[in-house]
Amino acid sequence: MKIRLGKVEVTFFHSINQETLETILDKVLFYDHPTQ
């Protein structure tokens, strides 16, 4: 994943832990594919 927009994005991704990121991704996938 490339960070193109600068320090804000880098700080954001470093401020959240991997568990939280995975939870967010799981919710996004769930709402994109509610039939699964």
In this prediction, residue 33 carries a pLDDT of 73
Could you tell me the pTM of the whole model?
0.38
In this prediction, residue 4 carries a pLDDT of 64
Distances (CA, A) of 24 to 7, 21, 30: 21, 5, 10
In this prediction, residue 29 carries a pLDDT of 85
Amino acid at 1: M
pLDDT, tens digit, for every residue of 1-35? 555 666 666 666 666 777 887 888 898 888 877 66
Extents of the domains making up the chain: 1-36
Radius of gyration of the chain measured on its C-alpha atoms:
13
In this prediction, residue 15 carries a pLDDT of 67
